[in-house]
Amino acid sequence: MNENSKYDVEAIRREFPILEREVNGFPLVYLDSAASAQKPVAVIESQREYLSHFHSNIHRGVHTLATQATEAFEGARETIRSHFNATYTAEIIFTSGTTDGINLVAGTWGRANLKPDSIVVLTRMEHHSNIVPWQILSYEIGFKIEVVELLTDGSLNMKEFMEKMELSPDLVCFTHVSNTLGTINDVKKLTSLAQNAGAIVLIDGAQAAPHIKVDLLDIGCDFYVASAHKMYGPTGIGFLYGRLELLEAMPPWRGGGEMIASVSFEDRTTFNVPPYKFEAGTPNISAVIAFGAAIDWMNKVGIESISMHEQALTRYAHNELLKIPGLKIYGTAKEKAGVVSFLVKGTHPSDLGTLLDQLGIAVRTGHHCTEPLMTKLEIPGTVRASFAAYTTFAEIDALTAGINRAVKMLN
């Protein structure tokens, strides 16, 4: 079934301690990686090593521990820059995650550049994190938000996207991969069209970064955000990429230590250069180091190999799940990542998810922070199974059997 015959998923699974546990007396079948991926030993050990042997605050100290911690912290920044092919390490700003990164752009670039007559373009498939910050700012400033709708297969309506570009928007924001539908957007094309219309482009890469190789120079966007915990790293850490000239022109985000050049009661306080201008206070040092370790782990396995494995899983899941009477899959775009959202006629997604949990099968239910999408589809939510490097075909078989069993109990 796996078209990548050299991919040893069982060896990979042995690197994830949590996959050895049972839930409700059944082996854990973890199909919720789009919410948060599990962590390999390499990531777990990277945090333990730092906390056990060279914990110290960074940048300020001259002693050995401070030097070691700083080198590991900034080494992780370089790992991220290299992996995503940004030009400068100064373009990589550590945030608490994707949501924090989008709020940073809204609170700095957005507040400084958007005006009452500005237009911001979003899409129907956006996560709340790429909707609500712009709505909050629009209430303050008064600009208009335009929404690009989707086609029936869950792909972006390109005709409507082009029509929105004719409005000369100031900002265009879109997700790289839909967390609900799995749709992979042609972000390079969308970026080019938006920039040709005079817009700044922000891309939500939270669901793309774990699954596909992201090349920021090739895409050409202005801002890109992602979270470590989707990429086998820890929670509470992510990054914002911003083109250096934009970052240099943006006002600070939060005030405090590290983000200043000098502070004075008598004279005007001056601010540090990027990325430090946007990193006030002591950061989540161990998480940053572990983020670097997670990327190293992904590259050791091979992002292309992971992607091929997940694509094969997705095709198999579509084929097997559609054999279940009354099951409908939402999101059938040709270009799709390892996410399958579905409903079974006559069942509520939360009831189905609860019964699957009793069988040790972890899925996500609800609107997946895409409530405007669910409203448009006229459904209360979906059951979402999402895949990762460690997912097996046998787990999809377990899901299929579990759904059949649960549906019989509910009907």
Annotated catalytic residue 221: no
CATH architecture of 44-300: 3-Layer(aba) Sandwich (3.40)
Catalytic residue among 132, 136, 147, 369: 369
Closest to 248 (Cα-Cα) out of 216, 277, 269, 279: 277
Q: Given this model, what pLDDT does residue 61 score?
A: 83
Q: What percent of the chain has pLDDT over 70?
A: 99
Domains 9-36+302-410 and 44-300 share a fold: no
Confidence of residue 6 (pLDDT cuts 50, 70, 90): confident
pLDDT at 5: 63
Domain borders along the chain are 9-36+302-410, 44-300
The whole-number average pLDDT for the span 372-401 is 97
Condensed to tens digits (0 to 9), the pLDDT of residues 278-315 reads 999 999 999 999 999 999 999 999 999 999 999 999 99
Would the pLDDT of 80 be above 60? yes
Structure confidence by residue, pLDDT tens digits, 57-72: 999 889 999 999 999 9
The domain 9-36+302-410 is placed in CATH, from the list 3.90.1150.10, 3.40.50.300, 1.10.3720.10, 3.30.420.40, at 3.90.1150.10
